[in-house]
DNA sequence: CTGAAAGCGCTAACAT
DNA sequence: ATGTTAGCGCTTTCAG
């Protein structure tokens, strides 16, 4: 039952006039940045409420030379990984006392750069580049004079990294420990502009190298982005693979389906492992053994590093998060005689 | 190989001084809002480039009393529907000449309101509420004096709606046409604050009512949010259901899995239908017959309505988008003798 | 404890 | 075609 004035927004001056004080006082009542007598304080608040006054954010930002906002630019928000990451990012921003501005660049690098530049030119106090195709250097060049960080790049500017190579090694060890010797890697290359080799591939090769074993190149199955992985899986099994390690849970899910369709039991006949711990991973039958991607930690530490830079605190050393293993039902002991069933 | 000055951002005045013109001229060179002699124009641009000048967005917004930004508040970005919707929203905003600001409110209504209010107080020219828990009226009350629209609510303020009731009816008709008479509805209630009945339930009941048939209440299977649907599915089949209609593709996917696990062939023994046309729907085996949710259209028209209001154009009439059917492999003719196989 | 005045960086009348 | 002058709505010295 409120009165409904045609909603012209009151300014701080009107509040001041009605309350019979200066606008400076109103400002200080609202910000608490200097002591105000209780009487005046109360009177001002009353007027603020009655008029429905809210400070104009843009004007405040200009005067304070600070927006309290962090600008993030992403390529997409559809994938479950990005979705989850963003929610953690949001939480981290809020936790640090900032609001989050999000730009979605789709596959348009120019649009990404436009968002970065926009954020950097007064909209945000700091900028976070999450677009895989935009390099650390490009992001920095686009945001002169503003703290910019790029998320998760093999570059000193990324405050925290995840050790994907070690993660791959860890999963290999797990499979090896179960008796698997011929482990296939189903691998969709995913290179940041800053690197020339995919750490997952390196981890796989290193694992065998460390054991003095020759890598069977035919077990490294490189997939294109939308490619059907069933022929590859078939080939791997023909080649004697007893375990299939996909570099994402989505791909691993497809493997499970393929296995089911072709009458292979997982993990009795074949082990399948994934990467990421996407939401589906636990829901699949059998549930998927995987390497969880430490999203909350990555988000929190990346944001904190950005905020540290904004607020002038000395940077912490770059962190390399160690991998963990989430062992569920899709991996098991190597079958007794994998290839000698024929007779 | 650029020089790297400690990145203090130049202002328009410095550009003006260096170029030997007034700041007004610089402004107009950049905005093209009044004719400038080629010579001056060129000189100014040179200085702009050399100094790396970029207009301060916040200051511009304040002076122009326009930000060119739309503020959207969502609950989450994890689900494939929200993810896809947001990307369409982003595209729609850009198409209309606005940038998109996104607030993620998680499950915190206060946070949602905080974002709405923040956007409304000068950060955005218009606000879009996509948080299911925030009513049209609450959103309006939170954003006085700023155009606010709430996405997809049964309320005159929502510029475009999707006819879920008709959509349900359409799918029922499809199943009916295949011979199914006992169709079960697996239904997770999803009520907006503005409505008291779920249109999907209404559509189901109306369908039978229009055919003068009594609805068998035992075929309306109401699920809680995370609830396992397998017992329900089992019960429905026991009750003689030959088709299962789930009110989301995710649920339908679970039905497919359950059917597979329990040795029921889809669609030979049982038809399964979904709702949404989520990305997985086409990828499932069998691919899922479903009702596509017209995301691009909804996004585009909602944004356009908001922009119309911002720019003072007269509002168009509310639109009710008609449903379509996407018939794929998961629905088929009723099996010859569904329950009389036992002997 | 409070007020007056000078900006924040830019745009938009209003001159010329 | 260009310059001068007021602001946009707020914060923040600097006085009192």
pLDDT in tens, A42-89: 999 999 999 999 999 999 999 999 999 999 999 999 988 999 999 999
Does residue A12 reach within 7 angstroms of strand D, measured from its CB? yes
Query: Which bases of strand C sit closer than 7 A to a protein CB?
Result: 1-5, 7-13
Measured between beta carbons, the chain A residues lying within 8 angstroms of B99 are 103, 115, 118
Fold of A163-283: Rossmann fold (3.40.50)
Q: Which of B7, B54, B144 sits opposite A117 (nearest CB)?
A: B54
- Region of A261 please: left (phi>0), alpha (psi -120 to 50) or beta: alpha
Among B72, B67, B75, B117, which Cα is nearest to B97's?
Answer: B67
pLDDT in tens, A229-244: 999 999 999 999 999 9
H or E element in which residue A24 lies: helix A23-31
Q: Name the minimum distance, in Å, from the CA of A209 to any CA of chain B.
A: 38
Q: Which of A62, A90, A115 sits opposite B62 (nearest CB)?
A: A62
**Helix and strand tally (H, E) in chain B?**
13, 10
Q: Name the minimum distance, in Å, from the CA of A219 to any CA of chain B.
A: 26
Q: Which of A54, A106, A123 sits opposite B121 (nearest CB)?
A: A54
Q: How far apart are CA A190 and CA A197, in angstroms?
A: 9
Tokens matching residue B29: 């060179």
Q: What is the pLDDT along chain B (343 residues), one digit of tens a residue?
A: 333 444 579 999 999 999 999 999 999 999 999 999 999 999 999 999 999 999 999 999 999 999 999 999 999 999 889 999 999 999 999 999 999 999 999 999 999 999 999 999 999 999 999 999 999 999 999 999 999 999 999 999 999 999 999 999 999 999 999 999 999 999 999 889 999 999 999 999 999 999 999 999 999 999 998 899 999 999 999 999 999 999 999 999 999 989 988 999 999 999 999 999 998 888 788 999 999 999 999 999 999 999 999 999 999 999 999 999 999 999 999 998 644 443 3
For residue B135, report the phi and psi dihedrals to the nearest 5 degrees. -75, 160
Q: Name the minimum distance, in Å, from the CA of B247 to any CA of chain A.
A: 19
pLDDT in tens, B172-211: 999 999 999 999 999 999 889 999 999 999 999 999 999 9
For residue A205, report the phi and psi dihedrals to the nearest 5 degrees. -65, -45
Q: Are A309 and A147 in contact (CB under 8 A)?
A: yes
Question: What angle separates helix B57-64 from helix A57-64, to the nearest 10 degrees?
Answer: 130
3-state secondary structure B108-131: CHHHHHHHHHHHHHHHCCEEEECC
Q: Are A249 and A288 in contact (CB under 8 A)?
A: yes
pLDDT in tens, B64-112: 999 999 999 999 999 889 999 999 999 999 999 999 999 999 999 999 9
Q: How far apart are CA B191 and CA B206, in angstroms?
A: 18
Measured between beta carbons, the chain B residues lying within 8 angstroms of A102 are 100-102
Among A161, A150, A97, which Cα is nearest to A128's?
Answer: A150
Q: Name the minimum distance, in Å, from the CA of A120 to any CA of chain B.
A: 9
3-class secondary-structure state, position A207? helix
State residue A2's pLDDT score.
Answer: 36
Q: For B31 and C6, how far is CA from C1' in angstroms?
A: 28
Among B236, B176, B178, which Cα is nearest to B210's?
Answer: B176
Domain with residues B12-64, CATH architecture:
Orthogonal Bundle (1.10)
Are A90 and B101 a contacting pair at CB < 8 A?
no
Q: How far apart are CA A134 and CA A151, in angstroms?
A: 10
Q: Which of B52, B84, B101 sits opposite A144 (nearest CB)?
A: B52
pLDDT in tens, A114-148: 999 999 999 999 999 999 999 999 999 999 999 99
Q: How far apart are CA B140 and CA A334, in angstroms?
A: 62
Domain ranges, ordered by start, for chain A: 12-64, 69-151+295-321, 163-283
Mean pLDDT score across all residues of chain A: 93
Tokens matching residue A123: 């909209």
A253: Cβ contacts below 8 Å, ≥ 6 apart:
A274, A280, A281, A284, A288
Q: How far apart are CA A132 and CA B8, in angstroms?
A: 28
Query: Which bases of strand D sit closer than 7 A to a protein CB?
Result: 1-5, 7-13
State residue A8's pLDDT score.
Answer: 79
State residue A283's pLDDT score.
Answer: 76
Q: Name the minimum distance, in Å, from the CA of A71 to any CA of chain B.
A: 9
Which residues of chain A fall short of a pLDDT of 70? 1-7, 337-343
Q: For B29 and D1, how far is CA from C1' in angstroms?
A: 12
Are B52 and A91 a contacting pair at CB < 8 A?
no
The answer to whether B69-151+295-321 and B163-283 have equal CATH topology is yes
Measured between beta carbons, the chain A residues lying within 8 angstroms of B85 are none
Q: Which long-range contacts (CB under 8 A, 24 or more apart) does B266-270 make?
A: B266/B330, B267/B329, B267/B330, B267/B331, B267/B332, B267/B333, B268/B332, B268/B335, B269/B335, B269/B338, B270/B237, B270/B242, B270/B243, B270/B244, B270/B335
Looking across all nucleic acid strands, the nucleotide with the smallest C1' to CA distance from residue B34 is D1
Are A83 and B76 a contacting pair at CB < 8 A?
yes
Q: Which of B55, B77, B120 sits opposite A87 (nearest CB)?
A: B77
* Full DSSP string of A286-327: SPPBB-B--HHHHHHHHHHHHHHHHTTPPPPPPEEEPP--B-
Residues close to nucleic acid strand C (C-beta < 7 A): A 20-25, 28, 34-37, 39-41, 59, 62-63, 65; B 9, 11-13, 23-24, 27, 30-31, 33, 53-56, 59-60, 62-64
Measured between beta carbons, the chain B residues lying within 8 angstroms of A122 are 56-59
Are A104 and B90 a contacting pair at CB < 8 A?
yes
Q: How far apart are CA B174 and CA B167, in angstroms?
A: 11
- CATH number for the region B69-151+295-321 comes to 3.40.50.2300
Task: Report the DSSP pairing between strands B148-150 and B126-129.
Answer: parallel
């Amino acid at each position: 039952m409120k009165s409904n004035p045609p909603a012209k927004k009151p300014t701080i001056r009107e509040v001041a006039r009605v309350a019979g004080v200066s606008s400076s006082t109103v400002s200080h009542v609202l910000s608490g940045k200097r002591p105000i007598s209780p009487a005046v304080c109360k009177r001002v608040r009353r007027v603020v409420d009655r008029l429905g006054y809210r400070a104009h954010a843009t004007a405040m930002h200009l005067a304070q030379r600070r927006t309290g906002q962090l600008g993030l630019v992403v390529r997409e928000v559809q994938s479950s990984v990005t979705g989850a990451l963003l929610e953690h990012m949001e939480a981290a921003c809020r936790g640090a006392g900032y609001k989050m501005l999000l730009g979605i660049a789709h596959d348009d690098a120019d649009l990404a750069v436009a968002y970065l530049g926009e954020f950097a030119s007064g909209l945000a106090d700091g900028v976070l580049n999450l677009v895989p195709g935009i390099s650390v250097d490009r992001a920095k060049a686009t945001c002169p004079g503003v703290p910019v960080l790029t998320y998760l790049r093999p570059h000193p500017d990324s405050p925290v990294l995840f050790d994907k190579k070690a993660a791959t090694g860890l999963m290999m060890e797990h499979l090896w420990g179960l008796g698997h010797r011929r482990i296939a890697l189903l691998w969709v290359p995913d290179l940041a502009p800053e690197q020339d080799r995919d750490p997952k591939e390196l981890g796989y090769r290193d694992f065998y190298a460390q054991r003095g074993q020759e890598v069977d190149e035919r077990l490294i199955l490189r997939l294109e982005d939308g490619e059907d992985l069933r022929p590859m899986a078939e080939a791997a099994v023909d080649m004697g693979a007893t375990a299939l390690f996909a570099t994402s849970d989505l791909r691993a899910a497809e493997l499970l389906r393929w296995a089911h369709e072709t009458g292979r039991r997982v993990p009795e006949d074949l082990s399948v492992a994934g990467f990421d711990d996407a939401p589906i991973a636990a829901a699949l039958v059998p549930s998927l053994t995987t390497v969880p991607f430490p999203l909350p930690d990555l988000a929190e530490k990346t944001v904190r590093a950005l905020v540290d830079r904004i607020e002038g605190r000395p940077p912490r050393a770059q962190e390399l998060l160690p991998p963990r293993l989430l062992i569920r039902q899709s991996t098991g002991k190597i079958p007794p005689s994998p290839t000698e069933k024929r007779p």
